[in-house]
Amino acid sequence: MLACEIHVTDLGRTYHSAAVEALARFDGDPEPVRRAADLCFETLKVGGVIHAFGSGHSAAGAIELFHRAGGLVPVNGILEAFLSPFLSPGKSGQLERLQGIGPLLVEQWDVLTGEVLIVFSNSGVNPVPVEIATAAQAKNAKVIGVTSLAHAASVPSRHPSGKKLADVADVVIDNGARAGDAAIEYQQGKFAAATSGLVNAYIANRLVAEIVGRYLDAKIDPPVYLSANLPGGDAHNKALEAKFKHRLKGLWR
């Protein structure tokens, strides 16, 4: 990312350049996203679902995949308020560092053999993202980790194993965020304006687009949400949700 002292009037332009640079990386190396889409489609075409999880602000990546216009219906959002900024960040940040929560979430949210869990975690060093990934793998599910390799490389793991999300995921998608996430240096050693949220949203929707393409290649109608604010949207969405109602706990809690 861009990291140089700049004039105040240039800050917005500099962030724009950093954002464009962050997204352009995926044109140069789309292979991890394509491998992730392959894993997702393999489970979806046989009736499985995709599970999406993130804690802290990384939960926004999981939210982007869950129950939204243009998104896939068979996505289970593992969204827990106690691991998000909806709880006091001082509390949720500490809870993310506790051991034992990840395996509990895998059981409670019904991650099954052959399914896919997508874990968003910018640093990937806290116990919850590491343990939810390994607990899913223990059930023979595949794990896609969306993380910053630069951040992960800059700090030690907080898990006793010494492992990070990037060490355990079956497919790793690097969101390209710099260590600390903030992208522009506004004073010597001081940075602002994060890129992980922007890029995670791109990764989520790039995955959706890749998966829809695989449905079309297989001549299968993709289960995609319409906006509820368009004519016929509610009826369309309810009909699709009924097919997956028994698996999508995030819709019915």
Q: Mean of the pLDDT values across residues 100-129?
A: 97
Nearest to 170 by CA among 62, 42, 46: 42
The DSSP H or E segment spanning 108 is helix 101-108
Q: Three-state SS for 85?
A: coil
pLDDT category at 233 given cuts 50, 70, 90 is: very high
The whole-angstrom separation of Cα 225 and Cα 77 is 15
Alpha carbons 239 and 221: distance in angstroms, whole number: 14
pLDDT-derived band at 7, boundaries 50, 70, 90: low
Mean pLDDT of the chain: 93
Q: Which two tokens stand for residue 212?
A: 């829809």
Report pLDDT for 133: 98
Tens digits of per-residue pLDDT, 144-163?
999 999 999 999 999 999 99
pLDDT reported for residue 90: 81
